A and B are shown apart, each in its own frame.
Chain A
């Protein structure tokens, strides 16, 4: 402990970390969470990943985390404290941690950083995300066939490419099975706020939506749907299985555990390199939660077929012909979207009404 104090004390003075040397016997992995670990969604699943790392490596790895860290200067301070505290690898699990992660990484060249859902990388900063839009395709496919009012409600979090991509993917696949379907989108401007999410769900239900998709992390919309009765929902980020078989009929499950274990192993082996990972259903980063008994058997079967074809890569969720909202051509017949366009997606596809908030 004394040696560590001296070493890390010197570290501060030098403005660089020798923590990796001080802690060579135990690899320390830090996690910065945007919500509470009990949110039942996004942060919950990242924390499950952390627990999987602990279980996999046992005493060889120590993990630490701080929850409900606001995006901004507070995040920068938490990451710095982690790096000073001897973390070798730090996962920063929200989009808004992007600039803080880059700033702190520049001060600690020997500490590895992994930023979820961002686009800025450095020699010691990797980015990783999941192709949630593949899961959205399956949701849209089911939702389009379940709806009787032909109105599907969608609770958006922030109008960033990831969320817009999800809306487009769900819409395209709902429209494919039900040409009369209409999307009503409410922007909550939060990732996690049960009160706001419940309110958004109620507004959508009042407007006639009988299926609600959500890109926010709490189970409040599930509860609102349950209270309303005949409304279907899908679990977001986490299975939210406690609301099955109704209102929750399926879910998108983020499964970070394999990635976290692999990256921790790479740090232990000294083979860690800055990479950009974007995995989908195939590699198991995106899981489709069990399709419940509330869904007719034929719909369930076709949804599972869609899931499997997405997993095998045989089908791409954005396959032309697809036009943009303004009617201009985007993808020609049979053409699939390139990752660059998907990553920066800032337009709705044809048929969705309303504007992306500005």
Chain B
């Protein structure tokens, strides 16, 4: 009989192997699903994982991977600090929206001034600040009144969505938009646009910031006292308190940091790929980033890879819909499986399978 036995320490080997195993199992089970839908499973898997990178139109879809992965990376890096320290910011989607609104509002306030050197940096600062302040609301409520930051941050997403609708229909509405909702298109205004830095690479300022965030997070976690405190607080709050970590300050820092990065991701998106503040500007990056953070083991390099993998399944999924006629829901199911199997095989990190001997024998 098989039995699970708790490991004295989480296995290092399995920590890094489980994501790969999860991807492999997802491919197999996904393949069975696609076969059941009457598609060639090998072709379907190849279309999703291979074609965006090396297929016929890779010169277009490869840079798009960065465009799609950039905001995921930026948000997930921010979340990973809090998740390590046991601070659960689930509302990155809302902070992303508020960052976009604040940044766009700054850009639009200066319209039609052309001083890009002034306006664009101000927009970035507004994006960071907006997201940070929005995240500090649940942070402050937790340290002051002991509220649950999971619930408060999540509820604030819906508040942010209402604000977004209100801004698209009211304050930030394009006065030349014939009464339709949505702001002016920031990506068409030289002073506020966030376009590709080198044409055809997909690299815009948001992607650059995402890579910088990965590097900083790596240094902070491995070489810096702050990273040590974060890890300590997550593993043993008592030990952290003894070593002089102020838990309240840590909560505020983690919330503020994750909110700031989510806000920045929103700003870069609204000024670049998306272009305008509109009612349905947010498409779930803030929630997907939670999956990315865990898929990447809360490790900066892992998050980098996980964000690219998620982007790959999105873009590959679209190609599969186009060329193979796979239903959209099958692709979503496939993405969901990825997290499901990751959580399932995660058990191997903390437990090992042993062949149990019966007591009597």
Contact = CB atoms under 8 A, between A and B. Distances in A.
A71 B170 contact: no
Contact of A345 (B179, B315, B325): B179
B323 A85 contact: yes
Interface in B258-301: 269, 273-276, 278-281, 283
B283 A66 contact: no
Contacts of A78: 318, 322
B165 A344 contact: no
Nearest to B59: A12
A81 B318 contact: yes
A209 B170 CA distance: 29
A8 B59 CA distance: 11
Contacts of B191: none
A208 interface: no
Chain A contact residues (Cβ within 8 angstroms of B): what range? 35 or more
A22 to B, nearest CB: 12
Interface stretch (A128-136, A155-163, A232-240): A155-163
B64 interface: yes
A343 B178 contact: yes
B153 interface: no
A119 B327 CA distance: 30
Nearest to B58: A12
B181 A8 contact: no
A71 B280 contact: yes
Interface string A22-55: 0000000010000011000000000000000000
Nearest to A71: B280
Interface in A117-133: 119
B30 to A, nearest CB: 18
B56 A8 contact: yes
B166 interface: yes
Contact of A72 (B64, B278, B315, B319): B278
Identify the interface centre among B165, B180, B329: most chain A CB within 10 Å of its CB: B180
A259 interface: no
Contact of A85 (B59, B67, B170, B322): B322
Contact of A189 (B61, B165, B329): B165
Nearest to B320: A66
A161 B322 contact: no
A81 B269 CA distance: 20
Interface string B166-203: 10011000000011110001000000000000000000
A160 B181 contact: yes
A213 interface: no
Contacts of A30: 322
Contact of B165 (A37, A346, A357): A357
Nearest to B278: A96
A201 to B, nearest CB: 20
B180 A160 contact: yes
A77 B318 CA distance: 9
Contact of A158 (B56, B166, B181): B181
B281 A72 contact: yes
A5 B314 CA distance: 23
Nearest to A94: B280
A81 B322 contact: yes
A37 B329 CA distance: 10
Contacts of B54: none
B315 A77 contact: yes
B322 A66 contact: yes
A93 to B, nearest CB: 14
Contacts of A160: 179-181
A66 B56 contact: no
A335 interface: no
Contact of B329 (A8, A36, A77, A343): A36
Contact of B319 (A36, A69, A81, A343): A81
25 contacts: A9-B59, A12-B60, A36-B327, A64-B325, A67-B328, A68-B329, A69-B318, A70-B283, A72-B278, A72-B281, A73-B273, A81-B60, A85-B57, A95-B180, A99-B276, A158-B279, A159-B169, A159-B181, A160-B181, A161-B179, A189-B161, A189-B279, A346-B179, A358-B166, A358-B169
Interface of A: 5, 8-9, 12-13, 30, 36-37, 64-74, 76-78, 80-82, 84-85, 95-96, 99, 119, 158-161, 189-190, 343-346, 357-358
| 3 pairs of A and B residues whose beta carbons are closest in the complex | A73-B273, A358-B170, A346-B179
Given A85-B323, A357-B166, 20 more contacts: A8-B56, A9-B56, A12-B59, A36-B327, A36-B328, A36-B329, A65-B322, A67-B327, A72-B275, A73-B275, A78-B318, A78-B322, A81-B60, A81-B319, A84-B60, A99-B185, A159-B169, A160-B179, A160-B181, A357-B169
